[in-house]
């Protein structure tokens, strides 16, 4: 069941905060869509010593065409449920383009 974007993406002054559920040790890295109010991401990395967190940041940055420094895990460092900050300039056009990229990946 698809959940409206407002339930799992929130625009903030710095950019966007996205609720994510990570499934580590998967066959491949991929976006699975929205499940239970969060964006589900599968990662091949194991959840050991921050390996999956590093892989998540790298994967998200690449998928949304951002530098890795613009992607930050705000909460959930040791769990599967995470809140991710995507730092974006306040430029309305850039934020609109980012939202369109997000929609296109789902």
Tell me what pLDDT residue 5 has. Answer: 46
Contact 39, 33 (CB under 8 A): yes
Tell me the sheet residues that pair with 18. Answer: 9, 84
Provide CB contacts within 8 A for 14, sequence distance 6+. 85, 87, 88
Tell me the sheet residues that pair with 33. Answer: 40
Global confidence as pTM:
0.87
Contact 16, 25 (CB under 8 A): no
Q: Which domains does the chain have, with CATH numbers?
A: 5-105 (3.30.1200.10)
How would you write the pLDDT of the chain (106 residues) with one tens digit per residue?
444 445 888 889 999 999 999 999 999 999 999 988 899 999 999 999 999 999 999 999 999 889 999 999 999 999 999 999 999 988 888 888 888 877 776 6
Tokens 């890295």 locate to 29
Tell me what pLDDT residue 74 has. Answer: 98
């Amino acid at each position: 069941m698809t959940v409206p974007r407002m339930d799992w993406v929130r625009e903030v002054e710095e950019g966007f905060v996205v609720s994510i559920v990570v499934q580590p040790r998967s066959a491949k890295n991929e976006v699975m869509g929205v499940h239970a109010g969060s964006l589900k991401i599968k990662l091949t990395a194991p959840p050991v010593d921050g390996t999956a967190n590093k892989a998540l940041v790298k994967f998200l940055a690449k998928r949304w065409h951002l530098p890795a420094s613009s992607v930050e895990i705000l909460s959930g460092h040791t769990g599967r449920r995470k809140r991710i900050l995507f730092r974006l300039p306040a430029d309305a056009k850039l934020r609109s383009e980012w939202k369109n990229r997000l929609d296109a990946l789902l």
